[in-house]
Amino acid sequence: MTWRKTIILGLVFLCAAAGYLVDRALTGKKKIIKEERQKLFNLSPEAVSAFTLENRSGRYRLEKKEGAWQIVEPRKLPADEGQVESLLTNLVLAKKYHPIKTGERVQYGLDNPTASIALEEKVSGGKQTLLVGVESTTTGRYFAAFKGGDAVFTIAGHIRNFLDKNLYHLRDKTVLTVSAEDIRAIKVEGSGRSLSLEKDKQGGWRLLEPGPDRADGGMVKNLLSELAALKASSFEEDTATTPGSYGLDDPLFTLSVTADESYTLFIGKKDVPREQNFARREYDEQVITLPARFIRLLSGDPNEYRSREIFRIEPGDIREIKIIVGASFVSVQREEGGTWRFQSRPDLRVHQGRVKSLLSSVSSLRIDTFEDANPDSLKHYGLDVPRARVIIYSGDREEKEILSFGKKAEDRDICFARVSTRPFIFGIDWTLVGGFYLTRQDLEDRRLFPVNQEKIHRVTFQTGDIEGALERKKGKWVVEGKEAQVLRVVGILSGIINLEFVREISESETTEFDQAMDSPEIRMVLDGEGDEILGGFSAVKGEGPEYILRTRSGKHYLVSPDEIEDLRESLEDLVRE
């Protein structure tokens, strides 16, 4: 009997499941029907081929021709595609609420609608006209009905607001029908200034006026974007019968833009109440106004479009850097492998990190101010006899650029400067100039132990009565059998490999300190992996503030007391912990 019971229970379950699925399908169908009934228009924006909008501002008819919307009433004008698409999309997505069948229209304000819109379909030839009445005092929505329909319903307030568009909203406000990528030349003339920009064959921009120069890419990009996006703020007269009243008989500026076509825009005087300027396009008598932001862009100093980059040679292409400060100079050259060497002293090491920092400073240095495009005299700027010069050469030495530093401006924190590839005087941030006043000593690698920190496996040291050894064991640093603090170890190792000498001294200068070297104030030996000895030194206090340091190779150096005493203190603290 058990198997019969199982079969019966299975059939009951299947019937219940089937009933649930059928009920769910019917419920979904009812929901779809309900939603369809709530939709205001049963069509898509793409299906609309024409519409007529009437409101308090007037009557406007628009038609879609060859894929573009055109205003045909009250007069023929290209339409604002964005505004039209927004209007139609909101209408077809709108809902109608609480429909009631009634022949009464007066109490809902539908006998004299505040707005109406008739949507026409080209394919079906159908036409739906929505009439909008007064606002409901209970819901905040607006009463509405379809022309010829028998139901009154309400629509959301924002849908009603979309029907309040006037001719300005609906018409195309584009001033220049051009994309930023297609513009090849720009010229602005007027108010005693001239700006002329031209795109070169490589896609870069050149400044032609004032004076030939490289153009600032960021400034040009911003101007191109503004030109492509420029919209009329308002439309004045269709035909300017009195151009003088707009300042268009003697324009403030004349803007010329060259792309696949050429465009000329005349910009007149300011419309003071609205903070806008009157303007009109060539061969178009329609007077418009342009936003103050765009006028400020044209009114700026044309020199602002000059490139603020100083050197043209890319950092990776620099083969030699020469720095002249007064009567001294230093020159470093890059070898094939990328290592920098002193040109006149190949026996001295160049601090590679400092040269890389210098290269970074060279490439990032920018013009702060444009001072004088046609200087009568360099003496006024201290550039007749420059305080310092930075000369860079390209890899093949065919290119050379010279940056000259003059004096500091009396009233500003800038240094006057000029570069050989550009004719004008400019200003550089005064706080950055000191980084270029370098001598050979500044670029010389004076580190006593220029080894990779990872190569050090043991540091044996003695400071006075304290002796110890810092060892790397299984990836950890240990001193006196205890694990050392990582940050303290990193600080000690950094202090060792960055320990620099002030100058090398001869044995004759250290004779009186030879005996003291047998009991130095600090002694240290650096070991690598296995039995490799990386270096070591002994140091005693000299006659002056510096320490005298003797390396394992027998050379003697003067070393800053701060570096030795900091290192000794860190080692002693490590042992005491």
Q: In the 8-state DSSP scheme, what is residue 164?
A: T
Distance of CA 253 to the CA centre of its chain: 30
Task: Say what the pLDDT of residue 15 is.
Answer: 53
Mean predicted lDDT score pLDDT of the chain: 89
pLDDT single digits (tens) 208-240: 998 788 999 999 999 999 999 999 999 986 655
Q: In the 8-state DSSP scheme, what is residue 173?
A: -
Asked if pLDDT for residue 21 goes beyond 70, the answer is no
Nearest alpha-carbon partner for 212 in 133, 100, 307: 307
Q: How confident is the model at residue 36 (pLDDT cuts 50, 70, 90)?
A: very low
Asked if pLDDT for residue 49 goes beyond 90, the answer is yes
Backbone angles phi and psi of 257, in degrees to 5: -125, 130
Asked if pLDDT for residue 416 goes beyond 80, the answer is yes
Asked if pLDDT for residue 59 goes beyond 90, the answer is yes
User: Mean pLDDT, to the nearest integer, of 7-11?
Assistant: 59
Task: Say what the pLDDT of residue 10 is.
Answer: 61
pLDDT single digits (tens) 441-461: 999 999 999 899 899 999 999
Q: How confident is the model at residue 29 (pLDDT cuts 50, 70, 90)?
A: very low
Q: For the chain, what percent of residues have pLDDT higher than 70?
A: 92
pLDDT single digits (tens) 516-534: 788 888 999 999 988 899 9
Nearest alpha-carbon partner for 534 in 479, 460, 469: 460
Residues with Cβ within 8 Å of 22's Cβ and at least 6 positions away in sequence, in order, are: none
Q: How confident is the model at residue 11 (pLDDT cuts 50, 70, 90)?
A: low
pLDDT single digits (tens) 245-288: 899 989 999 999 999 999 999 999 998 888 899 999 998 889 99
pLDDT single digits (tens) 359-381: 999 999 999 999 998 888 999 99
pLDDT single digits (tens) 465-496: 888 999 998 889 999 889 998 899 999 999 99
Q: How far apart are CA 167 and CA 233, in angstroms?
A: 13
Asked if pLDDT for residue 17 goes beyond 60, the answer is no
Of residues 446 and 508, the one with the higher pLDDT is 446
Q: How confident is the model at residue 241 (pLDDT cuts 50, 70, 90)?
A: low
Distances (CA, A) of 332 to 65, 393, 445, 489, 505: 69, 11, 12, 34, 25
CB 185 within 8 A of CB 198: yes
Cis upstream peptide for 74 (omega within 30°): yes
In the block, tokens 């360099």 appear at: 378
Q: For the chain, what percent of residues have pLDDT higher than 90?
A: 66
User: Mean pLDDT, to the nearest integer, of 424-443?
Assistant: 94
pLDDT single digits (tens) 65-119: 999 999 999 999 999 999 999 999 999 999 999 888 887 889 999 999 999 999 9
Of residues 183 and 139, the one with the higher pLDDT is 183
Q: How confident is the model at residue 8 (pLDDT cuts 50, 70, 90)?
A: low
Three-class DSSP category at 265: strand
Burial class (CB in 10 A: 0-12, 13-18, 19+), 198: middle
Asked if pLDDT for residue 20 goes beyond 70, the answer is no
Distances (CA, A) of 378 to 223, 249, 278: 34, 43, 44
CB 534 within 8 A of CB 455: yes
User: Mean pLDDT, to the nearest integer, of 176-182?
Assistant: 94
Of residues 554 and 188, the one with the higher pLDDT is 188
Task: Say what the pLDDT of residue 1 is.
Answer: 46
> What are 95's two structure tokens?
């809902």
Residues with Cβ within 8 Å of 419's Cβ and at least 6 positions away in sequence, in order, are: 310, 311, 401, 402, 403, 404
